[in-house]
Structure 1
Amino acid sequence: MLNDSELATLRNRFKRDAEFLMQTTTSGDEDEKSQEEKDAKPLPRINRHSVFWIVTSVAVTYYVDFFHNIVENEDIKSWWFNVGLILLGICLSLAMFCIVYLEWYKGIQHYDQEYPAVPPITTAAFIAASCSFNIALWPVWSFFTPLILFTQFMGVVMLISMCG
């Protein structure tokens, strides 16, 4: 067991380390910008990352003949596809409610604080929709289906972020 002098030495060492950590975290907090400063200077909308995903999404759409397969392929499991469309519609409706009504019309910037249930419901609907679309389109593109759908998703998100 430790005697009193070793215990005191150990306690002093932890105290010094704790003081050092507190000094580094407080000096780091002063260097960081406040939330208002971050909101005041938006990031550029057009960047390499966004352009990459949009171009990749267009290339995948062309290469796999996406829309032709969605409309005319008989291998698609229509029940799962319809469930995915309904869930995606719920997700997009909630997003439009937040963006158009709450943010533009009401002027509420942080709508997740006013309506805390909306983000988890939207997330759950989107995850369920993506699972449904993967199940529905698996017979068409097999193991490439998640990659194709993810690329399409990222392209749409980047396009929306550039426009909005």
Structure 2
Amino acid sequence: MTINDDKQKKTMAGGLTDTELAKLRNRFKRDAELLLQPVSEEEEKSKEKADSKPLPRFNRHSVFWILASIGLTYYIDFFRVILENEDIKSWWFNVGLVLLGVCLSLATFCIVYLEWFKGIQHYDQEYPAIPPITTAAFIAASFSFNIALWPVWSFFTPVILFTQFMGVVMIISLLG
């Protein structure tokens, strides 16, 4: 073995010999060529099908929130408290009701009119102002309800309202 052969076998970069470095380069070149090859339409459609496969409507998550909401409504006598308790700050509660009405009206407009009657699936692209308006109105409504109901349930108010919200959302998701 000559000195030149010994130098070639010595490590080049990070402990790799010339032959190992060449193999690595060829492997990366092959992988890059595979990535750059055009994908057939059938493969794209199968990927889209796999990505768009809907989740099952009934799952543990939705059942949990629905049962938690029902149990909480029964346990704290939610509707009786809302209708009869004098500690509720009525001005904030009414503002929350109006803002919640705005949210529900926009959601009904999107789901019933745009999606069912007009057949528009991506209504957020047709009407880009609807999602931010609905979100802002919902956040303001939740703050209003928290302020209005704080004298009744104190620091449990956000937990109670969030549980009720999740229960309603899960019930609505079962309808759609």
Q: Shorter-chain TM-score: what band? A: 0.7 to 0.9
SS of the aligned residue for 1:76 comes to coil
Does 1:38 pair with 2:51? yes
Give the Å deviation of 1:159. 0.6
**Corresponding residue for residue 19 of structure 2:** none
Of the candidates 146, 149, 163, which is equivalent to residue 158 of structure 2? 146
Match of 1:103 among 115, 119, 144: 115
Count of residues in correspondence between the two structures: 142
Within-5 A mapping of 1:8-27: none
Q: Single out whichever of 41-50 and 52-61 deviates more from structure 2.
A: 41-50
**Helix, strand or coil at the partner of 1:109:** coil
Partner of 2:95: 83
Offset of residue 43 of structure 1 = 1.3
Residue segments in structure 2 that go unaligned for 5+ positions in a row: 1-12, 14-24
Q: Aligned letter for 2:51?
A: K
Cα deviation, 1:95-128, whole Å, max 9, x if unaligned, reads 0000000000000000000000000000000000
Aligned CA distance change for structure 1 residues 100 and 64 (closer, same or farther; 3 Å): same
Gaps spanning 5+ residues in structure 1: where?
1-8, 10-15
Residue 61 of structure 1, CA deviation: 0.5
Q: In 1, Cα distance between the equivalents of 2:142 and 2:162?
A: 9
Question: Looking at both structures, which has the greater relative contact order when contacts are Cα pairs under 8 Å and sequence separation is at least 6?
Answer: 1
Which structure has the larger Rg? 2
The alpha carbon displacement at 1:38 in A equals 3.2
Q: Provide TM-score, normalisation by structure 2.
A: 0.74
User: Would the alpha carbon gap of residues 59 and 34 (structure 1) be closer, same or farther in structure 2, given more than 3 Å must change?
Assistant: same
Matched, 1:125 2:99: no
Query: 2:150 is matched by which residue type in structure 1?
Result: W
Q: Distance in 2 between matches of 1:35 and 1:85?
A: 41
Residue-by-residue CA offset, 1:132-151 (whole Å, 9 max, x unaligned): 00000000000000000000
Match of 1:59 among 48, 58, 71: 71
Kindly tell me: are residues 34 and 113 of structure 1, through their superposed partners in 2, closer, same or farther at Cα, counting changes over 3 Å? farther
Q: What percentage of residue pairs aligned between the two structures are identical?
A: 75
Cα RMSD, aligned residues only: 2.5
- Output the amino acid matched with 2:113: Y
State the TM-score, normalized to the length of structure 1.
Answer: 0.79
Q: Any runs of at least 4 consecutive aligned residues in structure 1 with deviations exceeding 6 A, and if so which?
A: 30-33
